[in-house]
Amino acid sequence: MHTWSKIRHKLEHEYLAESLRGRLTYFVTCYHGTHDCDEGRAAIRLDGKEILKSNYFDRMDAMWKHYYAAPRQPDDMLRHSALAAIHDGEFYQNDFYRAFDVFEQRSIADSLQSENALVRMFALLDRRTGRRTLEKLREQMQQEPQWLQMIYFIRLEAEKMPLPLERKSMKKAILFDLDGTLWDSSEQVTHAWNRTIREKTNRSEQFTVDDMHHFMGRTMEAIAALMFPDLPEKERIAILERCSEDEIDYLNNPEPGDCPPLYPDEHDIICGLAEEYTLGIVSNCQAGYIETYLRQIPFADAYTDIECAGKTGLSKGENIRLVMERQGITDCVYVGDTQGDADAAAQAGVRFIHAAYGFGKVDACDAVLDDIRKLPQTVKKLFKEKSNG
């Protein structure tokens, strides 16, 4: 097996289409200190931004879901389940290595028909896959997973080839903040943080729910500075990271009757919107927090994509653009409850709906929402105004 440096050089220089060289790059890393040194993550970047990424834990979780959902379990079910996870867009660095070994031993024609979606991706991006072949793949690509279609569209755009009609049409989306917009976890988070500070640090601070409303929506660094202004940055962030870990644990295992409340009729509203728009969640939270919300609702499938600062290290505005690029979104509104959300929408160049039922006030917005049940007509009006304009 090749070393990663050799694989990356070949993928980015020897094999990559000239139209994408210097723009599309690959990234892998291992999680040092884990039980299995194979654990890690992999990503694909376009112009420096991650457009596709996954890790060992998400990939294994997806694989086992496929494995146990199968009606029967033949001897090679583990292999089929791993391929199904990759098809879903869940992979880690070793999947890159294995896919590259297969890709390098096959012709482009065979690679484009491989059972492994990563092998098909390498072939789509290969310089030997010419414009005539790309044109012939249009019908086949309609059956590919959404993430692989995105790779195909990127290649078409780079070659200045016409996009499919459905890609040209407006893809409308609603992206949401989480806290104060889709649920109110302030009481639960306050309880978890206060307990951590009380039991696991030498600090005496105890915060109120009103304090938490003031904190939510900010970056972790900003919250830590508000909570412990007298401490050096490294120390206060360390305490907040411990609070955040315990918060996720508490939210995943709440005391009886202590789940964060949703807003009125949220289930029906979100499911109805998902039939007409692409939905996603973009938050300044830590990694794992949005997933906690999704695990506690019966309509998680309504959301197509999620992103957070804890995963990318990017600002909320940059993460909004990242999701838009990843999903091919051409027209978008962002729904949030704080000035930080309004600023993020402005940075991303999208319209902003202020969830005034949440935690904060804003200087300006495109629409005000005093009740989440009014969201469908509010969004419809904004999109209609833009199309008429």
**pLDDT value of position 127:** 96
Average pLDDT over residues 290-309: 93
Q: What is the pLDDT of residues 340-384, one digit of tens each?
A: 999 999 999 999 999 999 998 999 999 999 999 999 999 999 988
pLDDT in the model for residue 171: 81
Asked if the model's pLDDT at residue 77 lies above 90, the reply is no
pLDDT above 60 (res 36): no
Name, in order, each residue with C-beta under 8 angstroms of 185's C-beta and a sequence gap of 6 or more: 179, 251, 260, 293
Q: Which two tokens stand for residue 20?
A: 């994408």
What is the reported pLDDT for 286?
Answer: 86
Q: Specify the pLDDT at position 69.
A: 78
H or E stretch covering 279? strand 278-283
Does pLDDT of 64 surpass 80?
A: yes
Query: Which region among 98-102, 138-142, 214-218, 263-267 has the lowest average model confidence (pLDDT)?
Result: 214-218
**Whole-angstrom Cα distance, residue 54 to residue 73?**
26
Spatial separation of the C-alpha atoms in residues 36 and 31, rounded to whole Å: 9
The radius of gyration of the chain's CA atoms, rounded to the nearest angstrom, is 22
Is residue 168 over pLDDT 60?
Answer: no
Residue 98 and residue 114: Cα distance in Å, rounded?
Answer: 13
Q: From the DSSP assignment, how many helices (H) and strands (E) are in the chain?
A: 20, 9
Predicted confidence band at 244 (pLDDT cuts at 50, 70, 90)?
A: confident
Whether 166 has a pLDDT exceeding 90, the answer reads: no
Q: What band does 170 get if pLDDT is binned at 50, 70 and 90?
A: low
204-217 burial code (b ≥16 CB/10 A, e <16): eeebeeebbbbbbb
Whole-model pTM over 0.85:
no
How many angstroms separate the CA atoms of 150 and 257, rounded? 42
**pLDDT attached to residue 354:** 97
- Kindly tell me if the per-residue pLDDT of 275 is higher than 70: yes
pLDDT of residue 52 exceeding 90, the answer is no
Instruction: Using the predicted structure, report yes or no on whether residue 387 has a pLDDT greater than 60.
Output: no
CB distance 336 to 365 below 8 Å: no
Distance of alpha carbon 347 from alpha carbon 274, whole angstroms: 25
What is the secondary structure of 285-327 as a DSSP string? S-TTHHHHHHHTSTTGGG--EEEEHHHH---HHHHHHHHHHHH
Predicted pLDDT at 169: 52
